[in-house]
Amino acid sequence: MTDFLLACNWKLFCSPLQERAMLANLPEPKVPTIIFPSLLSLGSKHPGYQFGAQRMDLIDQGAHTGAIGAYALAELCEWVLLGHSECRARGDNKIAEKAHQARSLGLKVMLCVSSQELDTPNVDAVAYEPLWAIGTGKVATPELIAEAIAGIRSQVSQGTKLLYGGSVTPANIASIAQNADGALVGSASASLEGLQKLFTALTG
């Protein structure tokens, strides 16, 4: 088993019932794998997998109707994704403060950025996702990935996992593994067949 980190951002591709069925039938993971299902499907466990939330609010426990806080997520999963461009586009901010709060409550943070500029270096993983590569079928070149990963690596502590995201598929993930510690995969990961194909592409 390689230690390439496969992070699966299921976004809102599936309904909660579809997600529940997928989570009940996950294949044996061939590499370290994190699933970020919709918030509605958090709380399941599966041997060999870790789970994470796609977003969180910067709030303490209390009277916050409709919000989701780190203290609640920490009971349900290991990771939280912060700063995804689709969340930033909807007004998500205070990413550094959220990262601090999440980690202080025991969550691991995967920070998403679309350039080498980090909201905070104090995270457990950084996913570099150029905006033009997300959901477009246009994957960054190996040179661009290597350059961005090197630039980000110079800012974070040793051991921080650096991932690439944006139109990752079974056809290109092995090449991405040459230049990054992992991949953050959207649509290609949001089915059991897709997940299996990604494992096969990584490990044969």
62 vs 137 by CB, closer to ligand 13P: 137
Selected binder of ligand 13P within 9, 33, 160, 179 (CB under 6 A):
9
Position 33 contacts ligand 13P (CB under 6 A)? no
Q: Does 80 bind ligand 13P (CB under 6 A)?
A: no
> How many CB atoms lie under 10 A from the CB of residue 136?
11
3-state secondary structure 141-184: CHHHHHHHHHHHHCCCCCCCEEEEECCCCCCCHHHHCCCCCEEE
Assigned token pair, 196? 């299996």
| Per annotation, catalytic residue among 19, 117, 129, 147 | 129
- Which H or E run contains 102? helix 95-104
List the structure tokens of 54: 């796609």
For ligand 13P, the binding residues in 132-191 under the rule CB under 6 A are 134-135, 165-168, 184-188
Q: Using the rule CB under 6 A, is 41 a contact of ligand 13P?
A: no
Catalytic residues: 84, 129
Give the binding site for ligand 13P (CB under 6 A). 9, 84, 129, 134-135, 165-168, 184-188
